[in-house]
Amino acid sequence: MLTAMKRFLLLALPFLALQVFGADDALRLTLPTVCYAVPGVPMSSYYDNIVLTQTPENYRFTVNCSVGKSEARRWTLTPTDKDVGAHPLTVSVADATGKTIAQKSTMLRIVPADAGAGKTIRLLIIGDSLTAATAYPTEIARLLSLPGNPAWKMLGAPRPTAAIKGVAHEGYGGWTWARFVNHYEPKPDKTKRKFSSPFVFLGADGKPSLDMPRYFKQTCAGELPHFITIMLGINDCFRAPPDDPKGTDDVIDKMFKEAETLLAALRAAAPKADIGICVTTPPNARESGFEANYKGKYHRWGWKRIQHRLVERQLEHLGNREKERIFLIPTQLNLDPVDGYPVNNGVHPNTTGYNQIGDTIYAWLKWRLDTRK
């Protein structure tokens, strides 16, 4: 067990560019420039989620940090009030010979547990099937309902089943950035999962178009959000060709084009809102999850390569845009790729994994509540 050297990675915005020592750059280590945590909320970082390898157990992950403890597959921490503040840390990865092949530094900022107390906030949650499951929005609602938090309201379609009262979101299974921007269904039928984008309406010319002001007026009674979170990317990129790096980048480029359209519309309609974009979550560590879902058509290692490249591109394209009030939420770091997934699903977590996603988003919200102007 390490003492001064401890393993860590965690919640973050935005990610650092790759910095690898020596000739071995295959791991493509990603780390946040800043990480966030809140007293009383367990946070972990899973080594498998930050490197590109099928065998993370063959490497030694070492972190120099003043807080937290090391376990076999992760660094973990449940902060206390005395931990509030900034904690520098450095992560190193060594091969079987002990040679350091990758290294990064970051700053862990632990936010006061009462950040935002006495305020009132409105939150709009947008996403695909991971959001439609309603589990992580319910975890966010649970945490925001604890003492020391602001009064809260979630905007969007109400989701009363198996959720805390007041939980709402715009989450739809199988959806992409493009579908939220463009899709119009003239005869919606919820029983057949036939939906128009909640943000697309017929205009005076009889043609459908993206209209965020109309959405806020009609669906949200004219109320604007203080915070918007978006969890999209899996459906946009899942079928990218993992053996063709250029082909994968082409798919990601198309996704970003649609993303910029939606982000611009959100920014124009809600200019003071903070927009947090959830970094695409990692796959189940088990191939069995992919076999159960896709019967050999898609594999864990294929999606892992696509997902890791997507994380790198999200850093490049969406990082360092805080001046636009656009932020990355590192939802991929605090998600256990083993115990956070059922054995029979490749990309959809179990309750444990969904709660970890909610905890990550909550920590970002608390940081913004502590620093937002």
- Structural domains for the chain: 13-110 (2.60.40.10), 120-371 (3.40.50.1110)
Residue 193: per-residue pLDDT = 73
Residue 24: per-residue pLDDT = 41
Evaluate if residue 13 carries a pLDDT over 80. no
Evaluate if residue 145 carries a pLDDT over 90. yes
User: Which residue would you say has higher pLDDT here, 372 or 210?
Assistant: 210
> Of 208, 224, 202, whose CA–CA distance to 268 is shortest?
224
High-pLDDT (> 70) share of the chain, %: 92
User: Which residue would you say has higher pLDDT here, 22 or 209?
Assistant: 209
Give 241-273 pLDDT, tens digit per residue: 999 999 999 999 999 999 999 999 999 999 999
Residue 186: per-residue pLDDT = 86
Evaluate if residue 17 carries a pLDDT over 70. no
Q: What is the mean pLDDT of residues 143-172?
A: 90
Give 344-365 pLDDT, tens digit per residue: 999 999 999 999 999 999 999 9
Residue 199: per-residue pLDDT = 97
Highest mean pLDDT among 104-118, 193-207, 291-305: 291-305
Give 40-58 pLDDT, tens digit per residue: 999 988 999 999 999 999 9
Residue 34: per-residue pLDDT = 78
Question: Is there a contact between 75 and 45 (Cβ–Cβ < 8 Å)?
Answer: yes
311 CB-side CA count, 13 A: 30
Residue 20: per-residue pLDDT = 32
Q: What is the DSSP string of 171-208?
A: E-TT--HHHHHH---SS-BGGGTB---TTEEE-TTS-E
SS3 268: helix
Q: What is the mean pLDDT of residues 85-92?
A: 86
User: Cβ contacts of residue 20 below 8 Å, gap of 6+?
Assistant: 27, 28, 29, 101, 102
Give 188-236 pLDDT, tens digit per residue: 777 667 789 999 999 989 899 999 999 999 999 999 999 999 999 999 9
Which pLDDT band holds residue 162 (cuts at 50, 70, 90)?
low
Give the lowest-confidence range in 21-25, 86-90, 321-325, 327-331. 21-25
Residue type, 136: Y
Give the lowest-confidence range in 63-72, 79-88, 220-229. 63-72
Which pLDDT band holds residue 2 (cuts at 50, 70, 90)?
very low
37 CB-side CA count, 13 A: 31
> How much is the mean pLDDT over the chain?
90
